[in-house]
Amino acid sequence: MLQACLNGSRDSAFHAYTPLTPARLAADAAAVVAAGANELHLHPRDPSGAETLDPAHVAAALDAIRARVPGVPIGLSTHAGIAPGGAARLKAVKGWTVLPDYVSVNLIEDDAPEMIALALSRGIGVEAGLWSVGDTERYIALPEAKKCLRILIEINEQDIEQGLTVAAAIRKLLARASLDVPVLQHGYDATVWPLYQDALMRGLDGRIGLEDGKHLPDGSEAPDNAALIKAAFRLARVPPNLPPEAVPPLAG
């Protein structure tokens, strides 16, 4: 499975094409799905462009996207920095009138267990975000661990070898726990493509999009999210031990 992460906390200063409004998110969703993405992950925004969990803005984004790509699973972030922030996020999620298919919850955050329990109680799938071995140990100990839709191994380290080492340590703990929960592995900026190649080699799900990075495997800036998704599929047809510069150029 390849998930497209459309915007994250990025803005137009990061990339001119970063989709923020419901209309832009819907158009971008249609483009990445046409390029082959199976699922979507996004951060709804308010009129100022700030990330938000406000029920009205969440509904506007979800309704617009589902009108363009009906049936495609859509996930939202719940990270602690999204307005209204902190524990108030739980109240916002309780007030959602239009529900995403799943949410991602970072185990590094103090209220992760409460957010996971709330999402599951509302019939929303949970992606458990693991940044470290400590996060992994906390996740494994949760009574809801096996009820999660997916585990996200999320590598923030910018040194490639260090990032791969952290990912390997997380996978080792998960293997010992035998949770039988699907795993998606992704990197950030400098580690996007090495972690994606590593995921391909291990048969794990992947995630690509402007939230995680704006560069193609050859180091050039991608024109949009659809180009990143196309690049991921081209890379999947190349043996994972080849360097990025060996990947054929995109066609069309």
Q: 101 pLDDT band (50/70/90 cuts)?
A: very high
Q: What are the two backbone dihedrals, phi and then psi, of residue 123, each rounded to the nearest 5 degrees?
A: 80, 20
The answer to whether residue 96 sits within a structural domain is yes
Does residue 99 lie in a domain region?
A: yes
DSSP structural state of residue 51: B
The encoded tokens of residue 195 equal 């972690």
Please tell me the distance from the alpha carbon of residue 128 to that of residue 208, in angstroms, as a whole number.
17
Band of the pLDDT at 128, cuts 50, 70, 90?
A: very high
Instruction: Report pLDDT digits (tens) over 9-44.
Output: 999 999 999 999 999 999 999 999 999 999 999 999
State the Cα–Cα distance between residues 17 and 222, nearest whole angstrom: 10
pLDDT value at residue 86: 85
pLDDT of amino acid 238: 53
CA distances for 171 relative to 61, 107, 116, 142, 193, angstroms:
34, 15, 21, 17, 18
Residue 252 lies in a domain: no
CA distances from 18 to 3, 21, 35, 42 (A): 16, 10, 17, 11
Element (H, E) at 217: none
Question: Would 69 be classed as within a structural domain?
Answer: yes
Instruction: List the CATH number of the domain containing 40.
Output: 3.20.20.70
**Whole-angstrom Cα distance, residue 103 to residue 126?**
5
Instruction: Give the whole-number percent of the chain exceeding pLDDT 90.
Output: 91
187 within domain boundaries:
yes
Structure token pair of residue 152: 């996200």
Q: Are 130 and 151 in contact (CB under 8 A)?
A: yes
- For residue 247, the model assigns a pLDDT of 42
Return the SS3 of 242: coil
- Measured distance CA(196)–CA(240) in Å, rounded: 9
Identity of the residue numbered 190: A
Evaluate whether residue 231 is within a structural domain: yes
- Its domain, for residue 114, covers 2-246
The string of pLDDT tens digits covering residues 55-77 is 999 999 999 999 999 999 999 99
| Residue 251 domain-assigned (yes or no) | no
User: Would you state the pLDDT for residue 6?
Assistant: 98
172-219: pLDDT as tens digits: 999 999 999 999 999 999 999 999 999 999 999 999 999 999 999 999
**Residue ranges with strand state E in 37-142:** 39-42, 74-77, 102-106, 125-130
180, burial (CB in 10 Å: exposed 0-12, middle 13-18, buried 19+): exposed
DSSP β-ladder status, 39-42 and 74-77: parallel
As for how many domains the chain has, the answer is 1
